[in-house]
Structure 1
Amino acid sequence: MASAQVVLGLTPSILATLGTSPQETAMLSVIAGRPLLAGLLAAGSPAVFALRSFEYARTIEDLHERNFLKPAFFIRLDPVIVILEYLAAAASIGNIVELCYRLGGQVLTAIFTDDQYHFFLWAFLGLVVHGFGALALYLRTKVTTLGRDYEGGHIYRHHGRAAFNQFKPMAQQTSLHILILEESLLFFAVYWFTNILTVCHIIYGTIMFSSMLFISAEDAVIIIFRLMASVMICRIVLTYELANLRRVVKGIERKTIVEDTDATVEKGGAERQGLK
């Protein structure tokens, strides 16, 4: 039993190394415009891995630097793959919900006694972390479309197209251009708050799992295997979507303070010449 508690105590840290980071789900939500799938993958993967602040820009730039060679027959299967992705995410969530229900009702803990919701709280607290990660990326980037899919039109038509894109294969999405903005104070505040939540999530899970009583090593292995299964399934789906996103992103550039200063100087010079 002591060995089972040790292994279970390490489970949140192990899952964090295998799981998705808020930056990756944020790219699927903010850049790819697939917040529904990103939310389902975040809910089905009860593990959060944090990146450093400068790695936000590096992760985005990797979309343009890496090439993804996709077999031709996979392109024809894209609609089927989209359905399978949502089914896989739903299955991962169902696995986590059923496991947390069993743990809350059948397992005793040394710290959280008479409370059955702590396992659910730990499992889905990562959704909040991923949400703040998406907000941080939104503050750091500006995404524009290069096609005509979103030009003009009524607001309801725009929302209708955005809803349709949730189930549209990534390879058929409109080409995108990404502008990486300067790091603002609000971005740093949201980023550090996201990191603090990530650390608290790992510590909370470590305390909760290591305090489980009267559990055998065999049961501990089953728990870890089920958690890892959900994490790995969501990881595979997210990796595949981000690989397809590289085919859609056609340009990435940085907005620097020097460029803003030069633009301001040129504008001021043009205004002075106009006055003359």
Structure 2
Amino acid sequence: MTDEKLLFRLESGNDESENMGILLEAGCYFNIKHNLRHEGKESWFSMAKEHCENVTTPRDGKTVYIGSDWRTVSYKLEDGTEKEVSIRIVYEIIERITNKYGQFLMEPDIEVNTFWTNLDWNDQDIINNYHAHGECEQYHSELKTDVNLERLPSGKFDTNELVLELAILAFNILRMIGQETLGRRNPRHKENVKWCRRRTVINNLINMACHVTRHARQMVIGLGKSNVWQDVFQYVYGSFTYSTA
């Protein structure tokens, strides 16, 4: 598929030195969430307060420490020999003295996020790259639940390949419709919505009650004045009709 190096973005369940060794020996990049296990949050917090230079205060009562450190990791090669390397570990430590409503907490809330990586990106880009992992999971979830592909229907690969190709077409069409509805006086959307779930598009715009009338070689769809989505439906229909004309 490509001659370039692959980037593996893995969850904390894959935080093992052997896994990092395999990726290093294969010449791959990785960004792996570090599992703290028995490491205390207090030790990370103390280290950040002493050495971290990138300290921000997004709001009153919330302090964010972002930086990186180096740790020695050992793993075994295929011939059984043990190898030690220094791997960079990026940290994001958040101290909350008050909650988002301004209420003071009895004890400060400490949140520690750490990531193993061999990328040469800056610390913030490493953190943003891993957080984008959640967006990918959202798409996977919609494909399995909203498009109903939790399980493929057949035991034959060719049949499942065809079903998956058709599902991808439906998935992308629903995505296009959902993106086109953003910012169009949607009756139930919040202000800062960036995308719509496929299930939301299906419920609001696909499974829409209407009255179909055929007259003079024309087909007229009556949506009804009480339908709160009629304006959005007409706008989306007009957008795709004019764009493909």
TM-score range, shorter chain: under 0.3
Specify which structure has the higher proportion of strand: 2
TM-score by length of 2: 0.20
Specify which structure has the higher proportion of helix: 1
Q: Which has the larger radius of gyration?
A: 2
Which of structures 1 and 2 has the larger relative contact order (alpha carbons within 8 angstroms, sep 6+)? 1
